Structure 1
Amino acid sequence: MRNIVLITGASSRSGARTARALADAGDTVYAGMRQTAGRDAAQAEAAAGYAAQRGVDLRVIELDVNLPESVNAAIHRLVAAHGRIDVLIHHAGHLGTGPAGALTPEQLAELNEVNVLSAQRINRAALPYLRAGGRGLVIWVFGPEPASAPYFAVEAAMDYLAVSYSAELARWGVETSIVAPGSPAGRSGRLCGEIARIVALPAGRRPYRVRLDVPPSAPDTSAYGAALSAAGTAAPPGPGGAAWSPSAGARAS
């Protein structure tokens, strides 16, 4: 049976590649993007073009994980079309760069908002449908290393949230996979294929935790990378810099 998949943060390079890999595997994929007619218009157009060229079921959906009304509208649209959600992928988030001492409380709250509270918004809207179906999969995607200490603090909160949800959801037959790319090269080069592999596995055989580590110098030779480069979808900038910037290392939106 074809899976109905929702992935957040699909306007980023790795999010777009993951959505395309799942669509190529035969799933119906809803690629959540924050502003499909604004800042993400080029990525939305590229996804639509990819779907038309490959003949796959890849659909762009407006989804701002920071806005409850946007989250609820996206989930309602998806369920109205299919009556269910099979796979939920938490990919949206931000990497902050810079020393911990440069971070204001407001900036830490912003980082927590995008990475942790947004996942809770999505869960509260989407998980009732997975529980009702008595099956499904939730995948949590973490950022690459190295990153900043404040980001790791927020990521730890996200990890504990994922672990807590895994225990709660297991009684309804909903599985959890936590995927950590490790290095930026691991994220760029292997993440999309690994997530597609996990989704395709039979229920009960999916890994609980996966860490992808590849040499940082490994070239990006995938077809997805070439397609995205041609479409103008740039890779997210790497970590670094003396001043704190919550958006400078954005991993998804």
Structure 2
Amino acid sequence: MSKVVLITGGSSGIGKAIGDYLSSRNYTVYGTSRNPDTIQNSLFPLLKMDVCNLESIESAISELIEATGKIDVLINNAGVGITGPIEETPTEEMKKAFDTNLYGPINVIKTVLPYMRSQKRGHIINITSIAGYMGLPYRGIYSATKSALEITIEAMRMETLQFGIKMTNVAPGDFATNIAAGRYHAPVLENSPYKEAYSSTLKMMNEHVDHGEDPSKMAKVVHQIIENENPKIHYKVGAPMQKFSIVLKRILPDKVYERMLLKHYGLK
């Protein structure tokens, strides 16, 4: 029987690309969406799930197990973007971002773990972000949510290895998806002291996404990870300079690295 894969946020972007690719490789793929009835022509079934609602998570997982009898791979992909000067970003919006990008994936993992433990096997892949390896101006909260997920999974992985369960983090750089359209961004306020800097940085971020890489590249990497009997803990997928920026952060003095980021975003 083919491996059963569940992809949260499988209706668009990276999640859809992964689902389409795995379906073509004869995996049994299910995705999730908050509104699956509005999605047409999906190559794989979509279950109704809101990762911010525990009852919704439990219902979707139960439906999957009833249909397939098992879950081999969970891909935590659902997430939201958030931008803005931290001083001007509403606390409620920050909490929403953490609910979706951190607590949501954790609750999905907690729900599938009993099934994987009874199977004595399972693989949980978490889509994080290269932005989670550094504090980026006007993207600080997003960076924080993804960084928190990376560190949480490092700990959770060690806790669950004894049950035959693997956990892997995959950090993408900029990919051509619709994430910019769906994210929360603090408005550029006329009287804001951040107006000029934030406005130019926001424009640059949108351009990076518009000219990002093809999501099928992520799909192929995820497929390779699933097929690997002994996958690494961390993978980075993106343009060479984006991946190299993580290396630079490790080797450069803090203020030198900060100046590099300021120059990149035109903030100095």
Query: Normalising TM by the smaller chain, what interval?
Result: 0.7 to 0.9
**Matches of 2:106 and 2:17, distance apart in 1:** 24
Q: Report the secondary structure of 1:111's partner residue.
A: helix
Q: 2:146 aligns to what SS in structure 1?
A: helix
Q: 1:174: how far off? A: 0.7
2:232 aligns with one of 200, 207, 226: 207
Q: Counterpart in 2 of 1:68?
A: 54
Alignment of 1:90-239 (within 5 A): 90-143=76-129, 145=131, 148-184=139-175, 185-186=212-213, 188-201=215-228, 203=229, 205-214=230-239
1:106 Cα offset (Å): 1.5
Partner of 2:40: 45
Q: Which has the larger radius of gyration?
A: 2
Q: Equivalent residue of 1:32, what SS?
A: strand
User: What per-residue deviation string (whole Å, max 9, x for no partner) do you get for residues 22-52 of structure 1?
Assistant: 1111110111111112xxx1xx3221xxx3x
Kindly indicate which of the two structures has a greater share of residues assigned to helix: 2
Deviations 1:162-195 (A, max 9, x none): 1111111111111111100123335735111111
Q: Measured at CA, do residues 187 and 107 of structure 1 come closer, stay the same or move farther in structure 2, by a change above 3 Å?
A: farther
Aligned-partner Cα distance in 1 for 2:81–2:227? 29
The alignment yields a C-alpha RMSD, in angstroms, of: 2.0
Distance in 2, Cα, partners of 1:160 & 1:213: 20
Larger deviation, residues 25-34 vs 152-161? 152-161
SS at match of 1:75: helix
Moved more, 130-139 or 184-193: 184-193
Structure 2 letter corresponding to 1:161: T
Q: Which is bigger in relative contact order (C-alpha 8 A, separation at least 6)?
A: 1
Q: Which deviations, in whole Å up to 9, do the C-alpha atoms of 1:196-227 show, x marking residues without a partner? A: 111122x2x222211012269xxxxxxxxxxx
Where does the alignment leave 5 or more consecutive residues of structure 2 unmatched?
176-211, 242-264
Q: Contact 2:21–2:216 (CA<8 Å) still a contact in 1?
A: no
Residue 7 of structure 1: aligned partner:
7
1:125-178 deviation digits (Å, cap 9, x = unpaired): 111111111111000101354770111112121112111111111111111111
Find the aligned partners of 1:139 and 1:93 in 2 and give their Cα distance: 14
TM-score by length of 2: 0.70
Percent identical pairs in the alignment equals: 26
Per-residue CA distance 1:63-107 (angstroms, 9 max, x = gap): 111122211111111111222110001001111112222222212
User: Which residues of structure 1 form unaligned runs of 5+?
Assistant: 52-57, 217-239, 241-253
Q: Distance in 2 between matches of 1:177 and 1:157?
A: 14
